[in-house]
Structure 1
Amino acid sequence: MLSKLVCKRVLNHGLRLTTRAASASTQQVAVNRKPEVKYQKLFINNEFVDSLSGASFDVINPATGGVIAQVADGSEKDVDRAVKAAKNAFRLGSEWRRMDPADRGALLYKLADLIERDRAYIAALETYNNGKPFKDSYNIDIPHCIAVLRYYAGWPDKINGKVLPVGGDFFSYTRREPVGVVGQIIPWNFPMILLCWKIGPSVVTGCTTVVKLDEHTPLTGLYTAKLIQEAGFPPGVINILAGDGPNCGGSIVKHPDVQKIAFTGSTHVGKIIGAEAAKLVKRTTLELGGKSPNIVFADCDLDNAVEMSHFALFFNQGQCCCAGSRTFVEEKIYDEFVQRSIERTKRRKIGDPYDESTEQGPQISQEQMDKILDLIDSGKKSGAKLVAGGRREGDKGFFVQPTLFADVKDDHQIAREEIFGPVMQILKFKSIDEVIERANDTEYGLAASIFTKDLDKAIVVSNGIRAGSVWVNTYDNFDPAA
């Protein structure tokens, strides 16, 4: 398993210091609490078009439960014409295939500049549609999108092959070639970030794409389609559809002219996509769910560990696949850590996502809120100790109180299932070997974190944990280059 380790400098160990994006004040930004929804059609071959069926679906504001737009519903026939446009753009001799690599990078730079220009509007639209606090949309999500696109913009002319020594009067060489049409399926928790994570590598390598936005959060993706058009991408290079998973997404996965699938979403759906793609021997990249262990040792900086563990779980309303959702705390500091975490959880401000002081907005939907409340009820019945929250907040929108369980056991449902909500679970451990074994006792392996001042311990534990990313003394520390 290929994994990465991201460390925050502790004491004088001299590790590279990286920090998560700061939540700077947005008081100087003109915030539009009801941004105009400008684009509601499908984006195919550089044009906004209606669905061939004429069908549309409602887009809901999760903070109110009200309808904010109706968006064209992509069908199998719409997928087919989008794939045809992408295939045509990829044909040998096309403008895209003949474009210099540096010029592909210039297009990404231009797109990043346009997103930066419209940062306030896009952030407001993201909050309107997704419910996350505006200060997070403005200070974290959109700047990360810009950084990601600018990072990938530098790569197109640096993708190379090798010359291989062979016998006789011959030589052999390899070259890296674009796979062709890529189907990209985006989830609802980070609509803009994951759109940029997907299209950046695709453009860099010279592929063409058909993107399927989640039906809960299509608005910023469709606005970005307009910026793609403005940036000057050739027709058919990036096509953006909105629609549900089984019909629109399923049609992309099954289409014979789509050579690769990149999906971010639930493990359940990922398994379905993997099975379908295998029937056609398609390449797949599946970034799925998690139940990530967050391990706090007694020799940590306790103030930092409490705050970062809180952030690890509650950021983005707990709707992160890599959320630190199993917090293992060494018994020597367990009681103090729990008490400090209770106090921090009770201080967490939940409410209007456009309010500067708000830390937590609504969950994405009624369905997701009900699932979270059901799992909270399961936690209560299992014997875990509910020490904060545990209920719906208000009767308007899809708000769930920041919730904290202590004395959680490994076999409790809340410790094994991905909740994808603001529900923190704290478990006690005694030794390094024990916590490594328990951390690995899961079907997931997405991420993990360790809090300690002992670098040797951090390396030993990170090597023992089966996780793709391991953070040390920090969490959710993302950099485009890592």
Structure 2
Amino acid sequence: MIPYGPEPFTDFSNLKEAQALDAAIAQARQESGANIPLVIGGERIMTEKKTKSINPSRKAEIVGHISKADQAQAEQAMQSAYATFKTWSKVPPESRAGLLFKAAAILRRRKHEFSAWLMIEAGKTRGEADADTAEAIDFMEYYGRQMINMAKRSNDLLVPYPSEVNRLEYIPLGVGIVIPPWNFPLAIMVGMTTASIVAGNTVVLKPASTTPVIAYKFFEILEDAGMPAGVVNYLPGSGAEIGDFLVTHKLTRYIAFTGSRDVGLRIHELSAKVSDGQMWLKRYIGEMGGKDSIIVDKDADLEAAAQGIVASAFGFSGQKCSACSRAIIHKDVYDQVLTRAVELTNQLKIGDVTDHSNFTGPVVDEFAYNKILEFIEIGKGEGRLMTGGNAPMADLGYYIEPTIFADVDPQARIMQEEIFGPVLAFTKANEFGHALEIANNTEYGLTGSVYTRNRMHIERAREEFHVGNLYFNRKCTGAIVGVHPFGGFNMSGTDSKAGGPDYLLQFTQLKLSSEKL
């Protein structure tokens, strides 16, 4: 088998690549506005009730008209997945992995096409979109190899015993409900879905309501790769109408969710309740956000720190669970880092992501737009506004300026609550131990970063900074599959470590058989 290595990012300084992406954007625009069906057991179903997917850069532009499932169709999807599980679970792991490798090859050939859809439907810049697409490819390549390795190594886990033949197998769970987020609408959706099916499960995929077209386009890739009907059932719909129904269904074996803390906690609670006829304890695989800090020590490379803070805070308008929203700076270098971060932020261009000179685009939709603007107003009472705070081009799209507040109390709302937008709060630490105390004072524990040249401080942070992904002298965003397994502590979720060697264990169960000779 060809060794796995992370998918390289596209070099857009290459004119050929840049022109190919522009052509893909133009083609996606021509295809926008199509009617998107449900897909249950391989059957396309158009419904009367539909929702609209909107381009956040140009909110008058409709990306797609999306069929909405009701509970009857949700039941149909569950029955389809349950029936298909009986055959799909018997397919050898190598064959299931082959489906992922084929889908990865198709996506690699169509990389610019999918990046174009990410730009139009999710508002990603070309660099962010290209990274999202690359990560989706990485997940398939990585999980395919992990499944093959798990199948081969399972018996090596056993201690030999005289006069018996013992066999240990990773077997699939059953029907999974996959509920991906809108902020990585290709990568995370692909990761959760393909981890499920390569392990032998079947899936009801409920795509994010703001980015359903991208999910449908990937579903078509799975079909092109040879996925049997019913292995994945594509089921857009409202959480109120079908979300709780799917989570509490007696045939649901597990729920894989990435999204907000409040929704994640509700799903966790509902999944723990046993429904009539349910024969198992449901598993919950959850990633629920963060309130992430970058600490800058007094002896750090201050330019690198300022660059890392700005990139982590404002890439994709701060709409990442790993984004830096708290900068904790040693008092001796506070003014220098703050001043430089403001200078760098003022250089950022905001606008339509199809203009490649723009660093950041819009936030995803009207709900997010209004929520972030409310937090900016709160921030004005909790700190000193240094830059940003405005919403330019409101008639065109959901644009909000990258915003920095200084001198914010560690217990202030903008230091404690997840904003999920381009809002960054600076606070001062008296010494390194104080900085760690501030970094750990939220209910989240996803990512963090420390800039320091002090080796003892690095080791202390490694021990005391309580996050699932901790980085030193680099930004706190940008985890790479297989290199930085991703997932967090506390209210950030179940520390599922997507893209890591243990991830597929959550989609399988171990069965032992023992034969006496």
Could you tell me how far 1:35 is from its partner in structure 2?
4.5
Native 8 Å contact 1:23 1:135 kept in 2: no
Could you tell me how far 1:388 is from its partner in structure 2?
0.3
Native 8 Å contact 2:7 2:135 kept in 1: no
Could you tell me how far 1:252 is from its partner in structure 2?
1.6
Aligned match for 2:175, one of 168, 181, 191? 181
Tell me if 1:42 matches 2:38: yes
- Cα distance in 1 for residues equivalent to 2:450 and 2:39: 43
Match of 1:89 in 2: 84
Match of 1:100 in 2: 92
Could you tell me how far 1:247 is from its partner in structure 2?
2.0
Tell me if 1:255 matches 2:254: no
Match of 2:214 in 1: 220
SS of equivalent residue, structure 2 residue 390? coil
- Cα distance in 1 for residues equivalent to 2:224 and 2:161: 52
Question: What does the per-residue CA deviation read over 1:103-141, in whole Å, with 9 as the maximum and x for residues that have no partner?
Answer: 11111011111111222221111111111113321x311
The aligned amino acid for 1:122 is F
Q: In structure 2, do the counterparts of structure 1 residues 292 and 282 end up closer, same or farther at CA, with 3 Å as the change threshold?
A: same
SS of equivalent residue, structure 1 residue 349? coil
Could you tell me how far 1:422 is from its partner in structure 2?
0.4
Identical pairs, percent = 30
The aligned amino acid for 1:159 is M
The aligned amino acid for 1:218 is P
Aligned match for 2:67, one of 66, 69, 72? 72
SS of equivalent residue, structure 1 residue 64? coil
Question: What does the per-residue CA deviation read over 1:282-303, in whole Å, with 9 as the maximum and x for residues that have no partner?
Answer: 1001100210121111222222
Bigger CA drift: 185-194 or 41-50? Answer: 41-50
Q: In structure 2, do the counterparts of structure 1 residues 19 and 477 end up closer, same or farther at CA, with 3 Å as the change threshold?
A: farther
Match of 2:339 in 1: 339
Could you tell me how far 1:365 is from its partner in structure 2?
0.9
Aligned match for 2:262, one of 255, 261, 268? 268
SS of equivalent residue, structure 1 residue 239? strand
The aligned amino acid for 1:27 is A
The aligned amino acid for 1:451 is Y
Native 8 Å contact 2:21 2:116 kept in 1: no
Q: In structure 2, do the counterparts of structure 1 residues 19 and 301 end up closer, same or farther at CA, with 3 Å as the change threshold?
A: farther
Native 8 Å contact 1:20 1:478 kept in 2: no
- Cα distance in 2 for residues equivalent to 1:241 and 1:23: 36
Q: CA RMSD in A?
A: 2.0
The aligned amino acid for 1:465 is F
Match of 1:159 in 2: 150
SS of equivalent residue, structure 2 residue 203? strand
- Cα distance in 1 for residues equivalent to 2:417 and 2:305: 24
Match of 2:3 in 1: none
Could you tell me how far 1:27 is from its partner in structure 2?
2.8
The aligned amino acid for 1:478 is A
Could you tell me how far 1:19 is from its partner in structure 2?
13
- Cα distance in 1 for residues equivalent to 2:365 and 2:406: 27
Question: What does the per-residue CA deviation read over 1:134-178, in whole Å, with 9 as the maximum and x for residues that have no partner?
Answer: 3321x3111121122111121222114346459885565432211
Match of 1:59 in 2: 53
- Cα distance in 2 for residues equivalent to 1:22 and 1:227: 21
Tell me if 1:126 matches 2:118: yes
Match of 2:301 in 1: 301
SS of equivalent residue, structure 1 residue 362? coil
Question: What does the per-residue CA deviation read over 1:174-215, in whole Å, with 9 as the maximum and x for residues that have no partner?
Answer: 322111111110111110011112023112211111111011
Match of 2:127 in 1: 135
SS of equivalent residue, structure 1 residue 213? coil
Question: What does the per-residue CA deviation read over 1:386-420, in whole Å, with 9 as the maximum and x for residues that have no partner?
Answer: 00000111222110011111111112111111110
SS of equivalent residue, structure 1 residue 442? coil
- Cα distance in 1 for residues equivalent to 2:132 and 2:35: 20
Q: In structure 2, do the counterparts of structure 1 residues 108 and 39 end up closer, same or farther at CA, with 3 Å as the change threshold?
A: farther
Native 8 Å contact 1:329 1:426 kept in 2: yes
- Which residues of structure 1 form unaligned runs of 5+? 1-17
SS of equivalent residue, structure 1 residue 28? helix
The aligned amino acid for 2:206 is K
Match of 2:415 in 1: 415
Q: In structure 2, do the counterparts of structure 1 residues 370 and 278 end up closer, same or farther at CA, with 3 Å as the change threshold?
A: same
- Cα distance in 2 for residues equivalent to 1:334 and 1:174: 56
Could you tell me how far 1:246 is from its partner in structure 2?
2.3
SS of equivalent residue, structure 2 residue 428? strand
- Cα distance in 2 for residues equivalent to 1:77 and 1:115: 33
Match of 2:381 in 1: 381
- Cα distance in 1 for residues equivalent to 2:222 and 2:160: 45
Native 8 Å contact 1:39 1:223 kept in 2: no
Match of 1:325 in 2: 325
- How many residues of Structure 1 are paired with residues of Structure 2 in the alignment? 458
- Cα distance in 1 for residues equivalent to 2:471 and 2:242: 36
- Cα distance in 1 for residues equivalent to 2:38 and 2:344: 44
SS of equivalent residue, structure 1 residue 174? strand
Match of 2:136 in 1: 145
Native 8 Å contact 1:39 1:222 kept in 2: no
Q: In structure 2, do the counterparts of structure 1 residues 19 and 211 end up closer, same or farther at CA, with 3 Å as the change threshold?
A: closer
Match of 1:371 in 2: 371
The aligned amino acid for 1:69 is G
The aligned amino acid for 1:338 is L
Native 8 Å contact 1:165 1:171 kept in 2: no
SS of equivalent residue, structure 1 residue 332? coil
Q: In structure 2, do the counterparts of structure 1 residues 240 and 274 end up closer, same or farther at CA, with 3 Å as the change threshold?
A: same
Native 8 Å contact 2:202 2:231 kept in 1: yes
Match of 2:392 in 1: 393
- Cα distance in 2 for residues equivalent to 1:173 and 1:102: 18
Could you tell me how far 1:30 is from its partner in structure 2?
4.2
- Which residues of structure 2 form unaligned runs of 5+? 1-5, 275-280, 486-517
- Cα distance in 1 for residues equivalent to 2:420 and 2:145: 35
- Cα distance in 1 for residues equivalent to 2:162 and 2:141: 44
Could you tell me how far 1:426 is from its partner in structure 2?
1.0
- Cα distance in 2 for residues equivalent to 1:311 and 1:78: 43
- Relative to the length of structure 1, the TM-score reads 0.90
Native 8 Å contact 1:448 1:470 kept in 2: yes
The aligned amino acid for 1:480 is V
Native 8 Å contact 2:329 2:435 kept in 1: no
Could you tell me how far 1:310 is from its partner in structure 2?
0.8
Match of 1:6 in 2: none
- Cα distance in 1 for residues equivalent to 2:119 and 2:159: 56
